[in-house]
Amino acid sequence: MKRKLISLFLTLTLLFPSAGCGEKGDSVVLSFEKDENTVFTIGDTRCTLPQIRLMLMNYRNIYGNAYDMKLYDNDDPEFAAYVKDLTIKETARTISMDYLAQQQEVTLTEDEANRAAEAAKTYFETLTDAEISYTEIKQEDIEELYLEYALAEKLYDALTGSVNYEVSEDEARVVQLQVIFVSEKDRAKEIKKSLAHDGDFSTLAAQHNELPSIEMTVDRKELPAEATEAAFRLEEEEIAGPIETAQGYYFLRCLKKNVEELTEANKETIAKQREKETFADIYDEFVSSLDSVENRDLLEALEMPTDKALQSDSFFTVFEDVYGH
């Protein structure tokens, strides 16, 4: 299951708390140097303002392209703060992963290091004079970043190498249902009585259902446990209910006991979730020992770029194309 690097790191943004670094006893602290060019240090690795500016430019353009936003015309301070914080946290996270890689004895081979250097050269040559002027980046700065991202990716692969990607049909099965949900017991009794006298399920659902829709496709995680257990026992056209849950009462009618195309897609979703959870188990334990300290005074020079000439958004894709070839 080949991972896309940008997908990996944007996914990690949502999964894991931020961590910074620098040694402090048995923990790691995000520390800031006094010199004006260093944003933070992690162990013996520092992240410089040119590197942060480069990543800020890329993240801003990546998010802008993904959401079709005119970022250069967007003066929303909340958005600017979000992208700025994301940039700092994700760069710190990458270096934190490298710190964990050292503990796990995960290292780059000479060939991998050479490919990272080649990717840095390729990406640096894509930058315009305006982009180089804004970031003040040098090719060796990009090479440092690519080496860090390469090691973080290798760590992720190493920690998830034992994941079982085989997902059974039944575990991934998606069923199509008609649903009636009511929160009051008396209404549930009324519906039960109507169904017992050959009442039409669809008509009763239209009259009583408190959910936004009377028809849904669900996997094993979308309904309360009691309703899920009943739903996945049903044959097509069978009806179950009332099913009492903490939220209320469910009546279920099975329209299709296996929506095959959705089941196949759900297999991949489950496999990816296993991968993320395997990584999280190790990473979260590591992060729990880290202290994070941010000094905003040292970051005042970092502002959201507004120059329309700063269009670079290919930091990750160039790395993937060159390093991963």
Do 112 and 148 contact (CB within 8 A), yes or no? no
* Final residue of a structural domain among 257, 279, 304: 257
- Is the pLDDT at 315 greater than 60? The verdict is yes
Which tokens go with 26?
């048995």
Regarding whether 82 and 39 lie in a shared domain, the answer is yes
Regarding whether 280 and 247 lie in a shared domain, the answer is no
- Is the pLDDT at 69 greater than 60? The verdict is no
Regarding whether 231 and 100 lie in a shared domain, the answer is no
User: What is the model's pLDDT at position 278?
Assistant: 83
Name the more confident of 141 and 282: 141
Residue 22 domain-assigned (yes or no): yes
Residue 262 domain-assigned (yes or no): no
Helix (H) or strand (E) holding 288: none
Regarding whether 48 and 153 lie in a shared domain, the answer is yes
Do 240 and 252 contact (CB within 8 A), yes or no? yes
Regarding whether 274 and 294 lie in a shared domain, the answer is yes
- Is the pLDDT at 117 greater than 60? The verdict is yes
Regarding whether 46 and 132 lie in a shared domain, the answer is yes
Residue 169 domain-assigned (yes or no): no
Regarding whether 179 and 159 lie in a shared domain, the answer is no
Mean pLDDT of all residues belonging to the chain: 82
- Is the pLDDT at 13 greater than 60? The verdict is no
Model confidence pLDDT, tens digit, residues 222-245: 999 999 999 999 999 999 989 999
DSSP β-bridge partners for residue 291: 29
Name the more confident of 164 and 129: 129
Number of domains in the chain: 2
Residue 170 domain-assigned (yes or no): no
Regarding whether 17 and 54 lie in a shared domain, the answer is yes
* Confidence label for 308 from pLDDT (cuts 50, 70 and 90): confident
Give the residue among 15, 267, 277 at the shortest CA–CA distance from 160.
277
Regarding whether 159 and 10 lie in a shared domain, the answer is yes
Regarding whether 59 and 190 lie in a shared domain, the answer is no
The stretch 49-68 carries a mean pLDDT of 83
Do 232 and 173 contact (CB within 8 A), yes or no? yes
Regarding whether 153 and 132 lie in a shared domain, the answer is yes
DSSP β-bridge partners for residue 216: 177
- Is the pLDDT at 197 greater than 50? The verdict is yes
Read off the pTM: 0.67
Residue 289 domain-assigned (yes or no): yes
Range from 25-29, 246-250, 270-274 that averages highest in pLDDT = 246-250
The stretch 45-60 carries a mean pLDDT of 88
Which tokens go with 158?
């190493």
Residues in the chain: 325
The stretch 266-270 carries a mean pLDDT of 91
Provide the domain limits for residue 224. 175-257
Give the residue among 117, 91, 123, 109 at the shortest CA–CA distance from 151.
109
Regarding whether 98 and 74 lie in a shared domain, the answer is yes
Distances (CA, A) of 74 to 29, 71, 78, 87, 184: 34, 5, 10, 18, 48
Q: How far is CA 61 from the centre of its chain?
A: 18
Q: For the chain, what percent of residues have pLDDT higher than 70?
A: 79
Nearest-angstrom CA–CA distance, 294 and 84: 13
Coil, helix or strand at residue 297: helix
